[in-house]
Amino acid sequence: MGQYLPIVVLTALAVVFAALSLVASKVLAPNRPNSAKDAPYECGIVPSRESPERFPVSFYLVAMLFIMFDIEIIFAYPYAVAHETLGAFGFWEMVAFSAVFFVAFVYVVARGALEWGPMKKNVSVSDVAAMPVSGAGIKVVGLDGRLAPVTKEAVLKEDVTV
């Protein structure tokens, strides 16, 4: 139990420091509210209109992919250095670790993390799938609201999975 004493002490010090910092900021900070501070934009520029569309979430998904692969590289390097001493257990741990990251990557790509550009909002995949096309069993993939106008001819010219 004595070996955990430094960890417990440092955790307690961190909690006390955080609590004291919050209390000190409430007690010592000046409190002078005004309308400029209560406004949604404190930079001094009053917005004249709403933005046309929201910031794309794809940006954040790509950032998360970047962080995921950085973490994977950070953990793969020590394995590459000491793979002989880790043996089969280390190998299977790295396979499991990489599989988790691969599943996360596939999920994020399936959610559209790498598809950029404005979305077309008036056509859905179900509308395209309902169009009569020649040949049975055509599955339309990847046309969910993208820029190009979706017509029956465009569907036939695109790469479709049969």
Q: Is residue 148 part of a domain?
A: yes
59 shares its domain with 80 = yes
Q: Which of 146, 140, 139, 138 is nearest to 114 (CA)?
A: 146
Q: Is residue 76 part of a domain?
A: yes
Tokens in use for 161? 């999975």
Query: Domain range for residue 158?
Result: 118-162
152 shares its domain with 137 = yes
59 shares its domain with 111 = yes
Q: Is residue 29 part of a domain?
A: no
108 shares its domain with 137 = no
Whole-prediction pTM: 0.39
Tokens in use for 13? 């010090």
Residues across the chain? 162
Q: What are phi and psi of 111, to 5 degrees?
A: -80, -5
124 shares its domain with 140 = yes
Residues 11-23: tens digit of each pLDDT: 999 999 999 999 9
What's the number of domains the chain is made of?
Answer: 2
CA atoms within 13 A on the CB side of 147: 4
Q: Supply the Cα-derived Rg of the chain in whole angstroms.
A: 27
Q: Is residue 136 part of a domain?
A: yes
- The Cα 12–Cα 20 span in angstroms is 12
- The Cα 122–Cα 135 span in angstroms is 25
Residues 100-129: tens digit of each pLDDT: 888 888 887 787 777 766 555 555 555 555
**Residue 100: which CATH number?**
1.20.58.1610
pLDDT for res 7: 94
